Amino acid sequence: MTKKLVTQAIMQCNEQGNKAFVPYIMAGDGGLQTLKKNILFLQEAGATAIEVGIPFSDPVADGDVIQQAGERALAEGVTLRKIMKELASFKEEVKIPLVIMTYLNPVLSYGLQSIAADCEASGVYGLIIPDLPLEESGLLKDALKDTEVALIQLVSLTSPTERIEAIAKAAEGFIYAVTVNGITGVRSSFTEELEGHLERLKAASSVPVLAGFGISTPEHVRTLGGLADGVIVGSAIVTALHEGDYEKVQTLINASKNQLTNS
Amino acid sequence: MTTETKGRYGKFGGQFVPETIMTALQELETAYEEAQLDPAFSKELDYYLKEFVGRETPLFFAERLTKHAGGAKIYLKREDLNHTGAHKINNSLGQALLALRMGKKKVVAETGAGQHGVATATACALLGLECVVFMGKEDIRRQELNVFRMELLGTKVVSVDKGSGTLKDAVNEALRYWVSNVEDTHYILGSALGPHPFPQIVRDFQRVIGDETRRQIVEHEGRLPNAVVACIGGGSNAIGMFHPFVDDQDVKLYGVEAAGSGISTGKHAAAIAGKQEGVLHGAYMYVLQDDDGFIQEAHSISAGLDYPAVGPEHCHLADIQRVQYDSVTDQQALEAVQLLSRVEGIIPALESAHAVYYAVQLAKEMKEDQLVVICLSGRGDKDMQTVRDALGGQSI
Ligand SMILES: Cc1ncc(COP(=O)(O)O)c(C=O)c1O
């Protein structure tokens, strides 16, 4: 299998002169029925792909905003199984690839073979599992071997060069470059070394590089988008959707358009 | 899961952590390997263990408890006599010295009962390290005085009201803090848990318990014990006690989990009894969880056993049946607190009382010329309020 669907979506977007914009949403925040509405809205608003977050009892890689959204979703009784079913129910209407972001334990509980078998029927073409680093990723990679589903790895820009290169070499779909030392959440500034780090990463990688963690303003989207192939925006989108501020979401997405000249 | 990676105990263990922590874990692994090879490091640790902690701790023949049980001779390994009142200081001190060696100026830790928090606050005060401890809101309520102790020692205690507001949530917060401050901060994990190399580091710093016991029992009795019993929260006192005996097939090892209100009620902390495998806090272990893979809250009268998983090495020792794991309820532990207090003049921690209860039952079934050692992991001062409330608040 080529596992190219997510990669292609990003490259096509880049070819049209835009940076990729991948919003993160917490599935089930506001009830499971909002999932379809939010996904179709984001697709319409110009998202390149959508990262669908699965709530978890112990989200160690997440900051306050996403933790709270997760707790709201858990209170709604949302689970990975319910989300996969719901996604499958309106798959025909979704034209952009969905990527699921979940911690490992719900996936183990769902079953590695089962999730591999079910993803495509739900329109899911990528999995991001923050507590599954390269060293531990073998089993899931095996399970996904005969599918179109990419196992997307995160890379920390402060990691040693050899490690970054090893991850880049094994990368599928895109590389999720963590732009800050820390957890998800809103940040006011990024380190100055970021530019060099992202450039080295792009050079080492055969798949697109998206920058994520802490991107929260149109300004961030422009700056970091300019340094990478696109951005992932989490906490700011989650907050805006929670507050029903669709205009803010649109403004963020718009900031990723027409900006290939920057890079 | 059988992926070949570092820090595996059979199929358990591993490094299931966010990428942002991987570099810190590798740095820790290297620093620890170097420290192990450096005689100056163990010399310094030994110095503090002797002069500051008060090691070695006695292996005490519990004559009246033995009579009470009416079977095997019972010995108590007196970890309760350590400075700060439990075995936790063995690990905190070792890791604080390691932090200094790595050039880190700050330490973060989690705590449940507050024992590990107090031990870490103490080691940090001793060595001049800045310390912040995350503690569940519920535990802060249960262990008010330990919070005050930590503050008196110059540590900042941060209340965690996320999730269930207990130990697992405090670990989540400590991990988040560590990821965000990894450049100048070391994480002193308090039990034989977490991603590699933590389970190994914690075990190595706790194995002084088992090493001393092995030597002391031979001094007293001229032979090894027939059985060794320890309570299991995350598993640090137990693994430290068991490890030097693992190759002695004639020494039976017993780990005692907290059965809370009873395994059948679902309100317990006995992850091995629960038999469900999963990943929590960076390691593949037996974990209490529901059908969707969400981690469940643990329940025990003793805050120190109130964790929904058991360290990976224990999971493996359970799997290969080298150690037998059983459980003891809140009520039984309370009985043991009273029993040991009355017949030996030693008030045990509620955690340790689980081991005491189990060992007394075990001794009854054994012959009079056989030997049982209990790891008395801590003293009961911290639990007086809880025990009094549980006994109905009356004078006894
Ligand atoms: C006295 C005492 N014993 C046992 C434990 C349980 O921890 P572990 O299983 O890591 O020894 C604790 C934890 O706080 C404790 O304070």
- Residue A15 burial (CB < 10 Å; 0-12/13-18/19+)? exposed
Per-residue pLDDT, B313: 98
Picking from A54, A58, A68, A201 by the largest number of B CB atoms within 10 A of its own CB, the best residue to mutate is A58
pLDDT at residue B1, rounded to an integer: 44
Spot the catalytic one: A15, A29, A58, A62. Answer: A62
Across-strand partners of A53? A26, A101
Residues 6 or more apart whose CB falls under 8 angstroms from that of B256 comprise B229, B230, B231, B232, B325, B326, B327, B328, B354, B355, B357, B358
Give the distance (Å) from ligand 1 centre to CA of residue B162: 23
Supply angle C-alpha A133, A139, A141, rounded to 5. Answer: 75
> Is B377 among the residues known to form the active site?
yes
- Tabulate helix, strand, coil % of chain B (nearest 5): 50, 20, 30
Interface test with B, best of A32, A54, A60, A159 (most B CBs within 10 A): A60
Residues in CB range of B215: below 8 A, 6 or more apart: none
- Nearest residue of B to residue A63 by CA position? B176
Is any ligand 1 atom within 6 A of the Cβ of residue B236? Answer: yes
* A159 touching B (Cβ < 8 Å): yes
Smallest CA–CA distance, residue A186 to chain B, in Å, is 13
Please give the structure tokens belonging to residue B203: 């075990």
Residue B9, min C-alpha distance to chain A (Å): 15
Give me the sheet containing B371-376, strands edge to edge: B59-61, B73-78, B371-376, B227-231, B252-260, B323-329
Task: Evaluate if residue A180 carries a pLDDT over 80.
Answer: no
Q: What is the DSSP letter of B265?
A: G
Contacts of B153 (CB under 8 A, 6+ apart): B118, B121, B122, B124, B125, B131
Q: Indicate which atom in ligand 1 lies nearest the CA of residue B349.
A: 1
**Predicted pLDDT of residue A188:** 63
Residues in chain A with CB shorter than 8 Å from the CB of B1 are 108, 139
Residue A262 confidence (pLDDT) above 80: no
Cα(B118)–Cα(A37) distance, rounded to whole angstroms? Answer: 50
Task: Work out whether strand A150-152 and strand A154-156 pair parallel, antiparallel, or are unpaired.
Answer: unpaired
Average pLDDT over residues A91-102: 98
| Cβ-defined contact of A182 to B15 (cutoff 8 Å) | no
CB contact (8 A) between residue A105 and residue B280: yes
CB pairs under 8 A between A and B: 122
A191 vs B: CB within 8 A: no
Residues from chain B contacting residue A57 (CB–CB below 8 Å):
163, 294-296
Give the B-side interface with A, CB within 8 Å. Answer: 1-6, 14-20, 22-23, 162-163, 168-169, 172, 175-176, 179-180, 182-183, 277-282, 287, 289, 291-296
pLDDT at B2: 43
Rounded to 5 degrees, φ, ψ at B9 are -120, 95
Could you give the CA distance from residue B378 to residue B350 in angstroms, rounded to a whole number? 8
Nearest to B330 by CA among B350, B352, B310, B309: B350
Chain B interface includes A170 (CB < 8 A): no
- A131-145 core/surface letters (b: 16 or more CB in 10 A; e: else): bbbbbbbeebbebbe
Q: What pTM value is reported for the model?
A: 0.95
**Dist CA B93 CA B120 (whole Å):** 7
Select the residue of A80, A135, A182 nearest B20 (Cβ to Cβ).
Answer: A182
Compute the C-alpha angle A142/A144/A148, nearest 5°: 145
Centroid of ligand 1 to alpha carbon of B377 (angstroms) = 7
Question: Which phi-psi region, left, alpha or beta, contains residue B222 (left: φ > 0; alpha: ψ -120 to 50)?
Answer: left
Regarding the beta carbon of B199 and ligand 1, being less than 6 Å apart is answered no
**Set of chain B residues whose Cβ sits within 8 Å of the Cβ of A74:** 294
From B146, B377, B379, B387, the mutation candidate for ligand 1 (largest count of ligand atoms within 8 A of CB) is B377
Q: Confidence band (pLDDT; 50, 70, 90) for A261?
A: very low
The ligand 1 atom at the shortest distance from the C-alpha of residue B379 is 1
Helix (H) / strand (E) element for B110: namely strand B106-111
Q: How far is the C-alpha of B380 from the C-alpha of A253, rounded, in Å? A: 59
User: Testing the interface with B: which of A109, A140, A180 to mutate, by most B Cβ within 10 A?
Assistant: A109
Give the span between the Cα atoms of A98 and A36, in whole angstroms.
Answer: 12
CA of B116 to the centre of ligand 1 (A): 8
Q: Which helix (H) or strand (E) holds B375?
A: strand B371-376
Residue A122 pLDDT > 50 = yes
A136 → closest Cβ in B14, B163, B291: B14
Whether residue B380 contacts residue B349, with contact meaning beta carbons closer than 8 Å, is answered with: yes
Closest-CA distance of chain A to residue B7, Å: 11
Using 50, 70 and 90 to split pLDDT, how confident is the model at A263?
very low
Catalytic residue check, A51: yes
Query: Would you write out chain B's pLDDT as a tens digit for each of its 396 residues?
Result: 444 467 999 999 999 999 989 989 999 999 999 999 999 999 999 999 999 999 999 999 999 999 999 999 999 999 999 999 999 999 999 999 999 999 999 999 999 889 999 999 999 999 999 999 999 998 898 888 899 999 999 999 999 998 888 899 999 999 999 988 988 999 999 999 999 999 999 999 999 999 999 999 999 999 999 999 999 999 999 999 999 999 999 999 999 999 999 999 999 999 999 999 999 999 999 999 999 999 999 999 998 999 999 999 999 999 999 999 999 999 999 999 999 999 999 999 999 999 999 999 999 999 999 999 999 999 999 999 899 999 987 666
Which of B88, B209, B229 is the best mutation target for the ligand 1 pocket, counting ligand atoms within 8 Å of the beta carbon and taking the most?
Answer: B88
- Tell me the C-alpha to C-alpha distance, in Å, between residue A125 and each of A96, A128, B264, B359, B377: 10, 10, 42, 54, 50
Q: Which two tokens stand for residue B217?
A: 């029992």
Is B143 near ligand 1, meaning CB less than 6 Å away? Answer: no
| Residue carrying the six token digits 């964790």 | B307
User: Do A163 and B23 lie within an 8 Å CB cutoff?
Assistant: yes
**With 70 as the cut, is the pLDDT of residue A39 above it?**
yes
ipTM above 0.85, yes or no: yes
Return the SS3 of A168: helix
Tokens linked to A12: 């096509």
